[in-house]
Amino acid sequence: MDLYFYNTLTRKKEKFLPIDKKEVRIYSCGPTVYKNATIGNMRTNIFQDTLRRTLKYNGYKIKHVMNITDVGHLVSDGDEGEDKMLKSAKEENKSPLEIAKYYTDLFFKDLERLNLEKPEIICKATEHINDMIEYVKKLVENGYAYETSTAIYFDVSKLDEYGILSGISLDDQKAGARVDIDTEKRNPYDFALWIKAPENHLMKWDSPWGLCYPGWHIECSAMGQKYLGEQFDIHTGGIDLIPTHHENEIAQSKGKCGKIPARFWMHGEYLLINGGKMSKSLGNVYLLDDIVNRGYEPIVYKLFCYSCHYKNKLNFTWEAMDSTAKSLTRLREGYQKHLLGDSNVSKEIIESYENKFHEAINDDLNMPQAVSVVWDVVKNNIKSKQFAELLDKFDTVLGIDISKKPEEKIDIPEEVIKIAEKRKIARENKDWNESDKLRDSINELGYIIKDNKDGYELIKK
Ligand code: AMP
Ligand code: ZN
């Protein structure tokens, strides 16, 4: 069956065929490991996982590279401000290495909890400094880069066109350009490839231009080329990367070898919170931990993300999490119902569902449509093991553990709830002694009380 993806580069849905028939080569921009990944970041990772699983469903082998940005991403997403890693290291009183390790481990723990496949190759920027130096040297040699007193810059005016991914012309950009801090820059949209480190800068490496550290974009060009070659099949990331990071990756690659590094560029849209941006100042930055602490299985969030096409904005609410949790239970109950069934269904019926599901995922990862086919199978009145097998097959793409037995709902005794309510009031009154006593009473009755943002959750011991 033909496979179609929307390509940001051509602004069209296009038939996908890999360069090498057997193996699809993908590069995904990974996390900057200076803070916790949010559920917004995870939406982008869920989209990337769906892409991987869909390609596998179509019989392809995959070589998927994801970088870990542990140096060079400045607070402004441009060439200004402090390195995010150093800022976080200072704030948390740790070394940049400790910060990177801590947040990298948490990131992979989140991927695991969401049942997201790990890319075949994970590469850290700090372990590829020489590859980056070689890349920058080649850009200087080819006449695409120049040195100033603060950095080595990429000269965007040397390209035949700059802005092909975001569709902005250099003239428009010049008109709206900001006043630049670095007066030695030739064009406002020139960007730093390699930055000269101030004396007390913690992360710096020897290079032909003295002690420096990399700009944000060079790592992905250097590592992408190292592991996937000068041109590979798909490059992915969040939508915010289009006009900045990805545009500059294309510029670098064109300057080095004349090629756009990937044929398909796929971007995931943003997750919104209650219709707006997730931001620290609004206190609505949610992590996967927040979802778990409120008693949801992480997979509920994944299923929730499938309710919207990856190219559309998705609005997160706790009400939506509640209804998705119920849906997940119903899907699993439906699976169990079929598993116990002994009816036979015709090959044609199975194939018809299978085709509909396959068409949905092959149509630019249309997960809302794919999930509606899953519901049709689940709801079919004929109880058949063949349907359970089909759902297992669909779950190789969904990864929602559909064969897991739904957890039995436990009825909490009225007596326990009453004590929990009393304890809630005690806590509101900051009567910690009373609160501890009531916790012990709940324990004695065989239940555990966990506090959360909504109040509490009761679990049977
Ligand atoms: P950041 O940690 O903000 O640099 O984000 C890392 C990646 O996650 C970015 O490239 C974004 O594309 C993606 N991302 C950040 N916030 C969101 C969001 N609210 N929804 C979807 N993706 C996001
Ligand atoms: Zn990148």
Q: pLDDT at position 323, please?
A: 95
Please identify which residue in the block is written with the tokens 């995959």: 62
Q: 132 to each of 38, 43, 257, how far by Cα in Å? A: 29, 29, 15
Say how far apart CA 133 and CA 129 lie, in whole Å.
6
pLDDT at position 408: 62
Q: What is the DSSP string of 303-357?
A: HHHTTS-TTS-EEE-HHHHHHHHHHHHHHHHHHHHHHT------HHHHHHHHHHH
pLDDT value of residue 176 = 44
Q: What is the pLDDT of residues 23-56, one digit of tens each?
A: 999 999 999 998 889 999 999 999 999 999 999 9
Q: What is the pLDDT of residue 175?
A: 46
Q: Does ligand 1 have an atom closer than 6 angstroms to the CB of 240?
A: yes
Residue 396 CA to ligand 2 center (angstroms) comes to 27
pLDDT for residue 192: 93
What are the residue boundaries of the structural domains of the chain, listed by start?
4-268, 278-398, 414-460
Residue of 41, 217, 287 with the most ligand 1 atoms within 8 Å of its CB, for mutation: 41
For residue 83, what is the DSSP state?
B
Taking 70 as the pLDDT cut, the residues of the chain under it are 72, 75-80, 170-181, 408-410, 453-454
User: For a substitution probing ligand 1, which of 44, 70, 242, 267 has the most ligand atoms within 8 Å of its CB?
Assistant: 44
- The whole-model pTM stands at 0.87
- Within 190-311, strands assigned E span 191-196, 212-214, 232-238, 262-268, 271-273
Angle (CA) 177-265-83 rounded to 5° is: 50
* Ligand 1 and 30: CB distance under 6 A: no
Cα-based distances in Å from 9 to 5, 237, 261: 11, 13, 11
Specify the pairing of strand 232-238 against strand 212-214.
unpaired
**Cα separation, 444 vs 422, whole angstroms:** 16
- Beta carbons of 74 and 82 less than 8 angstroms apart: yes
Q: Cα separation of 315 and 88, whole Å?
A: 29
Query: Does the CB atom of residue 25 touch ligand 1 within 6 A?
Result: no
What amino acid is encoded at 335 in this protein? Y
User: Could you tell me the CA-to-CA distances from 319 to 233, 273, 323, 459 in Å, in that order?
Assistant: 39, 12, 6, 21
Ligand 1 closest atom vs CA 241: 10
User: Does 41 contact ligand 1 (Cβ within 6 A)?
Assistant: yes
Q: What is the per-residue pLDDT across 58-100, written as a single tens digit (0 to 9) for each?
A: 999 999 999 999 876 776 666 667 778 778 878 888 887 888 8
pLDDT of residue 278: 85
40 lines ligand 1 (CB under 6 A): yes
**Considering every ligand atom, which ligand is closest to the CA of 66?**
2
| Cα separation, 272 vs 116, whole angstroms | 21
CA 146, 151, 154, 158 torsion: positive or negative? negative
pLDDT value, residue 61: 98
First to last CA, the chain: 50
In this predicted structure, what is the pLDDT of residue 390?
A: 98
Same topology for domains 4-268 and 278-398, yes or no? no
Instruction: Give nearest CA residue, ligand 1 atom 4.
Output: 32
The predicted pLDDT at position 174 comes to: 56
Any idea which fold 278-398 has? Isoleucyl-tRNA Synthetase; Domain 1 (1.10.730)
- Reported CATH class of domain 4-268: alpha beta
Instruction: Report pLDDT for 211.
Output: 93
Report d(CA 247, CA 250) in Å as an integer.
5
Q: What is the mean pLDDT of the chain?
A: 91
